[in-house]
């Protein structure tokens, strides 16, 4: 049953993990390839909230790139299973912030759509909120059971791939800014037939839009429509387009070109032109990059020579248009269009679009405008005049290769470095330093298990003697004595808890009730004890304590604030059959693996080779170290490296003053669980003093 539950939980975690990873990688990628689009969306939010005066101009673009790279990189981390704890924590924190935020946006609706997937997928605020609820639940599942995520790469390459993903995302964002988006999800992409995208199917009524123009004359501003467009004594300020009545909305519904100063709508003339038409797109001339204005003027002269139409489309007013003409020597005609539409057509200010018969043949950013070498022949005879259409499949493959080929080179270089002698020397030195550092962090413990020895008076006398000896000569480790139940309350009165901790040798697997002769964890705690020994080999062998019984005992002990000294170990037959690792792992899994990391932090492990308890036989220091290292590795697999490094693992098996120093010197041995030698003050203190050597 437990294995079935574990498999089901593993499946749920990894399904959630893949869904989260794909969602975040896609969301981040579509923003990376179109940072301008995300910038415009941030500007919309800033304007909607009235924050323009408080937010510097560079912030929206910086936020757009940062958010895109963050989503992409944490998605890559989640997909490969890198830094599982940290990544799952980031996901949960991000969704805890975004989910209530999208609820607020749904209720207030400050902008039309959320923009979470750029222009690739448009979601309403309600759809976004529902999506975030699902992702939040998945994030919690992954966060709760992050150790069940399967890693797809080795731990050694985690940081290499993480850092490479950040660099790749930043470079791709910069390329998309300098040129144009690698993927164009907008209806004005290369190859789009604008006329077809504006058509309304037969039998359907389209929406009715009204475009008004804000004009100014003698300090007075008024709004006009196309029907009453004023003469050129009025100065154009801005245009506004709004839907008057609803209907079937075509993919392109807000594209119009109004020639200035005539006020003539030339949209269909431009789209019906069977020759070539260049559209210089400059949403706001006052913000346009004029570093390549000479190329623009040269291109216009080329169009005049070959009789190609050329228009500059802008949302700027007449005054700004005249200023641009005067400063840049622009002789080409200007036309007015909606600024949002212009920003949608091309992500550059200015940008250039080539049309033929209403089809988008090519696009350029202000940084990649055609050069004089490309303008030495008519478009009909040049490569520039051909439809520059790449299938999305080919673009996808190209981007994947951009990501994967350098990644393989980076990983290969990392492997060469790992194979170098210098790296091995550094790694060896670091390993030794980390081992020493970890050893210092872990608690060193010597615990005495009195078993069924000493009457009450003898027990109190021994505890008193030991307390006085350690008060006079402070120990270099934590000391615990675990006594029979009848000793606990009396012994607690004679111990200085700052020097010696007190523990019980057992507790019941029931909380309370009609269980004659049993002692509950709550009773143990009330006696003044802080520790309890569970799963001792004697309890397993003589009283038939199973993994399930021990699991209940562990949970009750922890729930009552006791630290658990949990015993594990193999019998002689299992050691001779070389099954010690299998046996120990099964004992750990059967009773402890359902604990949380926080609960496990209150567990102390005691490895006791049963064949070496009370027999006079002792496992060699090397045998003890080998098993302790295996136990620590097993804990790392289940609870993580940090938990494995912090857990104290004691050796329990005929440990004496004569061999304690040798055993305790091993890096994975953190002390001892002492039996017979704990019944004499001198012997027990001799083992404790092994930590002073």
In this structure, the dihedral spanned by the alpha carbons of residues 331, 332, 338 and 340, taken in order and rounded to 10 degrees, is -90
Q: Is 238's pLDDT higher than 80?
A: no
pLDDT tens per residue, range 539-572:
998 999 999 999 999 999 999 999 999 999 998 8
d(CA 459, CA 481): 11
Residue 252 — pLDDT band, cuts 50, 70, 90? confident
Mean per-residue pLDDT, 561-586: 90
Do residues 472 and 443 touch, judged by C-beta distance below 8 A? no
DSSP three-state, residue 313:
strand
Question: Active-site residue among 71, 570, 574, 608?
Answer: 608
What DSSP character marks residue 368? S
Q: For 212-226, 440-454, 550-564, which range has the lowest pLDDT when averaged over its residues?
A: 212-226
Tokens encoding 172: 């791709």
Q: Can you say how many angstroms the Cα of residue 51 is from the centroid of all Cα atoms in its chain?
A: 29
For 8-32, how does the pLDDT look when each residue is reduced to its tens digit (9 = 90+)? 888 888 999 999 999 999 999 999 9
Max Cα separation, the chain?
Answer: 116
49: left (phi over 0), alpha (psi -120 to 50) or beta: alpha
pLDDT level of residue 125 (50, 70, 90 thresholds): confident
Inter-residue contact 13 to 6 (CB < 8 Å): no
pLDDT class of 1 with cuts at 50, 70, 90: very low
Average pLDDT over residues 660-677: 91
Query: What separation in angstroms does the CA of 424 have from each of 164, 429, 500?
Result: 23, 8, 43
Structure-derived torsion over alpha carbons of residues 682, 683, 688, 693, reported in degrees to the nearest 10: 90
Buried b / exposed e along 524-543 (16+ C-beta atoms within 10 A): bbebebbbbbbbbbbbbeee
Distance, in Å, from the CA atom of 337 to the CA atom of 355, rounded to the nearest integer, reads 16
Locate 252 and state its tokens.
Answer: 């392109």
SS3 560: coil
H, E, C per residue of 438-458: HHHHCCCEEEEECCCCCCHHH
- 536 is an active site residue: yes
Beta bridge partners of 355: 277, 360
φ, ψ at 273 (rounded to 5°) = -65, 120
Listed ranges 193-207, 429-443, 492-506, 657-671; the one with the highest mean pLDDT: 492-506
Mean pLDDT calculated for residue range 89-103 = 91
β partners of residue 242: 210
Cis peptide upstream of residue 350 (ω within 30 degrees of 0): yes
- State mean pLDDT over 408-430: 58
State the burial class of residue 328 (Cβ atoms within 10 Å of its Cβ: 0-12, 13-18, 19+): middle
Percent of the chain whose pLDDT exceeds 90: 47
List the strands of the sheet with 258-259, edge to edge: 264-265, 258-259, 334-336, 309-314, 276-282, 351-356, 359-364
> What DSSP character marks residue 680?
S
Q: Residues for the chain: how many in total?
A: 693
In contact, 539 and 566? CB cutoff 8 Å: no
Residue 432's pLDDT is 46
Tokens (6 digits) for 673: 């669980």
Most confidently predicted of 140-149, 525-534, 538-547: 525-534
Mean pLDDT over 451-470 rounds to: 95
Of 536, 545, 574, 628, which one is the catalytic site residue? 536
Query: From CA 693, how far away is CA 690, in angstroms rounded?
Result: 6
Looking up tokens 């004023």 gives 230
pLDDT tens per residue, range 253-299? 788 898 887 788 899 999 999 999 999 999 999 999 988 899 999 99
Distance CA 296, CA 651 (A): 82
* 608 tagged catalytic: yes
User: Quick check: 238 and 315 in contact, CB under 8 A?
Assistant: yes
Listed in sequence order, the residues at least 6 apart from 399 whose beta carbon sits closer than 8 Å to its beta carbon are 172, 182
d(CA 25, CA 14): 16
Q: Please report the pLDDT score of residue 3 as a whole number.
A: 58
Three-state SS at 462: helix
Q: 385: pLDDT confidence band, cut at 50, 70 and 90?
A: confident
Can you tell me the distance from the alpha carbon of 337 to that of 267, in angstroms, rounded to the nearest whole number? 10
Helix (H) or strand (E) holding 238: strand 235-245
**Of the candidates 561, 551, 553, which has an alpha carbon nearest to the alpha carbon of residue 507?**
553
Residue pair 183/395 in contact by the 8 Å Cβ criterion? yes
Q: What is the pLDDT of residue 149?
A: 84
pLDDT on residue 21: 92
- Cα(56)–Cα(537) distance, rounded to whole angstroms? 69
With residues binned 3-state (H G I as helix, E B as strand, rest as coil), the percentages for the chain, rounded to 5, are 55, 15, 35
pTM (whole model) above 0.75: no
Residue 221 near residue 181 (C-beta atoms within 8 A): no
């Amino acid at each position: 049953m437990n294995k079935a539950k574990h498999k089901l939980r593993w499946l749920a975690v990894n399904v959630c993990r893949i869904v989260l990873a794909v969602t975040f990688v896609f969301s981040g990628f579509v923003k990376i390839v179109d940072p301008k689009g995300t910038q415009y969306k941030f500007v919309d939010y800033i304007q909607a909230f009235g924050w323009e005066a408080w937010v510097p101009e560079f912030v929206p673009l910086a936020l757009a790139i940062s958010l895109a790279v963050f989503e992409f990189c944490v998605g890559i981390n989640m997909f490969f299973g890198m830094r599982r704890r940290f990544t799952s924590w980031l996901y949960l924190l991000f969704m805890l912030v975004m989910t209530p935020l999208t609820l607020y946006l749904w209720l207030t609706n400050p902008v039309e759509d959320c923009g979470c997937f750029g222009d690739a997928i448009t979601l309403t605020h309600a759809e976004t909120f529902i999506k975030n609820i699902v992702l939040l639940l998945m994030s919690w599942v992954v966060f709760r059971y992050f150790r069940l995520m399967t890693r797809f790469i080795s731990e050694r390459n985690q940081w290499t791939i993480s850092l490479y993903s950040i660099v790749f995302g930043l470079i791709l964002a910069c390329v998309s800014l300098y040129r144009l988006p690698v993927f164009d999800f907008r209806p004005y992409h290369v190859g789009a037939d604008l006329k077809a995208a504006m058509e309304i199917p037969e039998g359907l009524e389209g929406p009715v839009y009204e475009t008004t123009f804000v004009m100014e004359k003698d300090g007075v501003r008024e709004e006009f429509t196309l029907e009453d467009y004023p003469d050129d004594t009025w100065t154009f300020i801005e245009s506004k387009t709004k839907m008057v009545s609803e209907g079937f909305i075509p993919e392109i519904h807000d594209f119009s070109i109004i020639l200035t100063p005539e006020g003539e709508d030339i949209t269909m003339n431009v789209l019906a032109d069977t020759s070539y038409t260049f559209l210089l797109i400059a949403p706001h001339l006052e913000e346009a990059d004029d570093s390549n204005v000479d190329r623009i003027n040269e291109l216009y002269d080329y169009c005049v020579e070959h009789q190609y139409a050329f228009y500059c489309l802008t949302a700027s007013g007449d005054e700004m248009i005249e200023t641009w003409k005067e400063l840049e020597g622009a002789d080409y005609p200007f036309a007015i269009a909606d600024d949002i539409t212009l920003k949608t057509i091309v992500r550059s200010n200015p940008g250039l679009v080539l049309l033929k018969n209403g089809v988008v043949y090519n696009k350029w950013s202000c940084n990649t405008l055609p050069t004089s070498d490309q303008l030495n022949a008519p478009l009909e005879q040049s490569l520039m005049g051909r439809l520059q259409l790449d299938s999305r499949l080919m673009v996808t493959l190209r981007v994947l290769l951009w990501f994967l080929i350098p990644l393989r080179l980076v990983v290969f270089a990392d492997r060469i470095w790992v194979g170098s002698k210098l790296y091995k020397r550094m790694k060896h030195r670091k390993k030794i330093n980390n081992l020493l550092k970890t050893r210092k962090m872990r608690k060193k413990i010597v615990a005495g298990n009195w078993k069924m020895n000493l009457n009450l008076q003898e027990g109190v006398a021994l505890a008193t003697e030991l307390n006085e000896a350690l008060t006079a000569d402070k120990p270099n480790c934590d000391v615990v004595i675990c006594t029979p139940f009848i000793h606990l309350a009396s012994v607690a009165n004679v111990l200085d808890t700052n020097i010696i901790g007190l523990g019980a040798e057992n507790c019941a697997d029931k909380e309370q009730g009609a269980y004659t002769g049993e002692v509950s964890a709550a009773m143990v705690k009330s006696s003044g004890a802080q520790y309890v020994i569970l799963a001792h080999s004697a309890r397993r062998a003589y009283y038939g304590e199973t993994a399930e019984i021990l699991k209940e005992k562990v949970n009750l002990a922890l729930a009552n604030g006791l630290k658990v000294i949990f015993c594990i170990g193999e019998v002689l037959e299992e050691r001779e059959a070389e099954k010690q690792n299998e046996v120990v792992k099964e004992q750990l899994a059967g009773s402890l693996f359902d604990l949380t990391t926080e609960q496990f932090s209150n567990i102390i492990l005691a490895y006791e080779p049963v064949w070496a308890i009370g027999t006079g036989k002792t496992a060699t220091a090397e045998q003890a170290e080998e098993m302790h290292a295996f136990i620590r590795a097993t804990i790392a697999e289940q609870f993580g490296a940090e938990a494995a490094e912090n857990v104290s693992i004691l050796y329990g098996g005929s440990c004496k003053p004569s061999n304690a120093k040798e055993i305790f010197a091993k890096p994975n041995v953190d002390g001892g669980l002492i039996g017979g030698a704990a019944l004499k003050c001198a012997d027990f203190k001799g083992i404790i003093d092994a930590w002073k050597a």
